[in-house]
Amino acid sequence: MANDTSKDPELDKLLERKAREMVKGVKNVGNVVELNRNNFNDFIKAHDVAVNDFWATWCAPCFMLEQIIKKLAAEMPNVGFGRLNTEEEPEIAAKYYIMSLPTVMIFKNGEPIDQVVGVVPKKVLQDRIKAYLDN
């Protein structure tokens, strides 16, 4: 039987707290925009290259990836970095066929061109993003 935590807000809070404890001590840096249905399309169109982190509060690996995304945002000011909570915006996640979390989707000129599923080393994600700069 699948474990459905979306109906238990107390469990969601515990999982989120535990996930944040796992990444405690990692410095928060970077400028990552919190995206939602009101700003998502404008955000991906406003940047030549935009990177979106699809995540959820119950996803412990998402909190590990969050720190990598923040570091990349600080190091790559010419790229737009955003994150979208898939629990709050399931329609957008469905539009892009997000089936696993975390998923990082790279957009160029407002169109999806690449995605990375799961937590990967910073260098791997950085190289994938750099491949679409100035192309």
User: What pLDDT, in 10s, does the model give residues 10-37?
Assistant: 887 777 666 555 544 443 335 999 999 9
pLDDT of residue 8: 80
Q: Tell me how far apart the 2 most distant CA atoms of the chain are, in Å.
A: 47
In a domain, 61, yes or no: yes
CA–CA gap between residue 87 and residue 114 (Å, rounded): 22
Choose between 8 and 89: higher pLDDT: 89
In a domain, 112, yes or no: yes
Mean pLDDT of the region 87-91: 97
State pLDDT tens for residues 93-123.
999 999 999 999 999 999 999 999 999 999 9
Q: What is the CATH number of the domain that holds 65?
A: 3.40.30.10
Torsion over CA: 100, 35, 6, 66 (sign): positive
In a domain, 6, yes or no: no
Residues labelled catalytic: 59, 62
In a domain, 14, yes or no: no
What is the count of structural domains for the chain?
1
Confidence of residue 59 (pLDDT cuts 50, 70, 90): very high
In a domain, 9, yes or no: no
| Domain around 45 | 30-130
Task: Count H helices and E strands in the chain, helices first.
Answer: 5, 5
